[in-house]
Every structure is written in C-alpha cells, then in structure tokens.
Amino acid sequence: MRVLGIETSCDETGVAIYDETTGLLANQLYSQVELHADYGGVVPELASRDHVRKLLPLIDAALQEANLTHNDIDAVAYTAGPGLVGALMVGATVGRSLAFAWNVPAVTVHHMEGHLLAPMLEDTPPSFPFVALLVSGGHTQLISVTAIGEYQLLGESIDDAAGEAFDKTAKLLGLDYPGGPRLAKMAATGTVGRFTFPRPMTDRPGLDFSFSGLKTFAANTIRANASDEQTHADIARAFEEAVVDTLLIKCKRALQQTGFKNLVIAGGVSANQNLREKLSAMMTGRGGEVFYARPAFCTDNGAMIAYAGMVRLKAGCTTDTRITVRPRWPLSELTPI
C-alpha cells in the first residue's frame, strides 16, 4: 500500500510517498524562506499563492522520484490542520481532488500528529508509551502518548511558544528570517555565563510554558548593552541556554509524573543541537532514551504526513468528499486507533 502525503500548513510545500513495506519512496520539499524573508515573517496570502504554484510540480517530481504513476498510489493524505487557513485549503483541495480523480481514499492528517510520529520514520523508532515534546512553530506542548491517537496534554505554552520566542529574539538581534536557526548559530560563538536569563515557570509546579517574558528580558538586555557582534552572540547564548534548560526541566517533570522511560522530541526546535545534547545526557542519566527525527524531518515535510496518513488509513480513517480544514485543532480530539 502506498500513500501520497501533502503538507501545506504554513511556508513549506511538502510531498512524499510512503510504502508500508519498503518505507519512504520519495520526498520533495520546497521552502518559501526567500519569499517571506523581505517581510521578516510569513505572509499568509503569499504563502497560499506559492503553494498553488509549487504543489502540482512537486507531486509530479515525487512520482518521478519513486518511478511511479498515479495508478500506483493507493491513497492521498493531506494536512487538514492546524495551520494557516488559506495554505491548508490549497493542500486539502488538491489532495481531495486527486483522491477523487484517482478513485482512491483520502485521509486527513493532523499536522502535530505528523510531527509526533516523524521519529517513526527512523531505523530505530520509539516504543510506546512515551512523553512527547512538540516544539513546532506556534506550539510547545508536552504530551503523554500511550498509543497512536491516545494523547493526553500535560502542558503547553500559555503565550509565546519556544519557536516564536526564538524568532522574535532573533529579530531583536538584527537577524534575518527565519531567525531561530540563525540565533542558534550565533549562540554557538557566545560566551557562557556572561549573561544570565530566567528559566520561566520553573520555580512553580506544573508543566505549562511561558516564553513571552523571556523575549522581553532579551529585549531589555539588548538595549542595556553594547551592540557589538560578540555581545549579541553572548546574549543569544544566554537566551538559548534559558530556553533549553526550561524545556529540559519540564521534560524531566513530565517523565517523573508519568513514569515513562522514553522521550520523543519533534518539531523545528528539536533540530537545535544544544537541546539534543542536554536531553540526551538527561535521559542517559535516567536510564531512558530520547528519540528524534532526522533534521530534514524536524521542519514541516510531506514524509511525516504520508506516514501518519498510512497509519490512519490502515485504521479505517478516511474522509468523504467534503473539503474541510481546521486552522485550530486540538490534538486531544483525534480518534485513538
């Protein structure tokens, strides 16, 4: 069985083909970074129009990469939410139309479930149960995962998510969009300990996150100090250390609360090397294991949608001919399988 997956929730157009027997057959991705860079962030209308331009050529490219035709596709999966409504509508309209034209089932996929399951694409996937830290775009969530579709929200960001805080602080430091990866690169040259940032909401019980104040603290620190390159690098390092330590502390609490041994981290921020190293060290000390997707599957991509679509398809989760997207869609509303 082969599933074609389509991802258009924000500013990446992703198309992939997954075979339940042989694994990933094709993975095509187009990033809109250059399109949005002049604006310092994603412009929803421009994102939607670019998905329209790029999606069909990427589908053709994926079929060619896998040496297949549409007759070899058994289902079409597409991201139905959460995300930008216009961008979601592009993928949903094309995906549902192709499924109708090819006379195959269509499967709607939750974007965050796609991220959560991305580590399953690796040679050594995690086993259930595990705690999942999802740090993607506007989401920072800790989730108890006992099976696919059995998700319990343990904690989430009450204001800015970690990724948003990275991007906003990067902008304060004069870095171009996308700011998160650029800030991490700058932080690598920073001096540890020159500046000390707070670890928000770690001095009280609970598993929720708040990074808005950390961004404000960064803004005040930037204003109060010289604007030379090394100072900015030192501030970036202090900021990154604060975010990483906060995520680390909350993950440890979640593992203690659930008693689980395994930790999964997924989403764009999971590619941060400092975060990976500290979580790996923490899990080794606890006698557990941490699982990641490869860097190419941390950001939005079609492979995670194709895989999640395959899992949902095998459980009988198909959709009718209506085209419906959900810009806001709690993960807890998904059907267990």
Please spell the DSSP secondary structure of 88-110, one letter per residue. HHHHHHHHHHHHHHHT--EEEEE
CA–CA dist 7, 199 (Å, integer): 34
Q: What is the band of 138 on the pLDDT scale with cuts at 50, 70, 90?
A: confident
pLDDT exceeds 90 at position 207: yes
Residues 199 and 186 in one domain: yes
Q: How confident is the model at residue 47 (pLDDT cuts 50, 70, 90)?
A: very high
- Percent of the chain at pLDDT exceeding 90: 96
Rounded CA gap, 195 and 231, in Å? Answer: 9
* Nearest CA among 65, 81, 53, 74 for reference residue 28: 65
Its domain, for residue 180, covers 127-292
Q: Does 137 map to a domain?
A: yes
- Say whether pTM exceeds 0.85: yes
Residues 328 and 192 in one domain: no
Same domain, 91 and 187: no
For residue 200, pLDDT beyond 80: yes
- Look up tokens 């941060």; give the residue: 272
pLDDT at 302: 98
Residues 274 and 191 in one domain: yes
Residue 123 vs residues 15, 100, 260, 283, 301: alpha-carbon distances, Å:
21, 34, 21, 20, 18
Instruction: Indicate if 48 and 34 belong to the same structural domain.
Output: yes
- What are 53-91's pLDDT values in tens digits? 999 999 999 999 999 999 999 999 999 999 999 999 999
Element (H, E) at 310: helix 302-314
Residues annotated within a binding site for Fe cation? 111, 115, 300
In a domain? residue 122: no
Instruction: Give the CB-side neighbour count of residue 36, counting CA atoms within 13 A.
Output: 20
**Model pLDDT, residue 137:** 77
Binding residue ranges for substrate: 134-138, 167, 180, 272
Question: 322 and 284: one domain?
Answer: no
Q: Do 248 and 144 belong together in one domain?
A: yes
Q: Are residues 131 and 278 in the same domain?
A: yes
Mean pLDDT of 304-329: 96
- Count of domains forming the chain: 2
Taking the C-alpha atoms of residue 170 and residue 180, their distance in angstroms, rounded to an integer, is 6
Distance CA 298, CA 300 (A): 7
- CATH code of the domain containing 228: 3.30.420.40
Instruction: Indicate whether 161 and 75 sit together in one domain.
Output: no
Tell me whether residue 40 is in a domain.
yes
Numbered residues of the known binding site: 111, 115, 134-138, 167, 180, 272, 300
The answer, yes or no, to whether residue 232 has pLDDT greater than 90, is yes
pLDDT band at 265 (very low <50, low <70, confident <90, very high): very high
75-81 vs 130-136, strand pairing mode: unpaired
Q: Is residue 19 included in any domain, yes or no?
A: yes
31 plus 167 within the same structural domain: no
Q: Provide the residue type at 298 as one letter.
A: C
162 pLDDT more than 80: yes
Q: Is the pLDDT of residue 136 over 90?
A: no
pLDDT in the model for residue 8:
98
Please give the Cα distance from 12 to 51 (Å, whole number).
8
Asked if 96 and 44 sit in the same domain, the reply is yes
Q: Quick one: average pLDDT of 99-109?
A: 98
- Residue 143's pLDDT is what? 97
Q: Is the pLDDT of residue 163 over 80?
A: yes
Cite the DSSP H helix spans in 173-258. 179-187, 212-224, 229-258
- CA distances to 179, 197, 200, 269, 307 from 249, rounded to whole Å, are 24, 15, 10, 16, 31
- 133 shares a domain with 255: yes
pLDDT for 161 equals 95
What confidence tier does 281 reach under pLDDT thresholds 50, 70, 90? very high
What pLDDT, on a 0 to 100 scale, did the predictor assign at position 134?
A: 97
Q: Are 176 and 292 spatial neighbours (Cβ–Cβ below 8 Å)?
A: no
Whether 53 is covered by a domain: the verdict is: yes
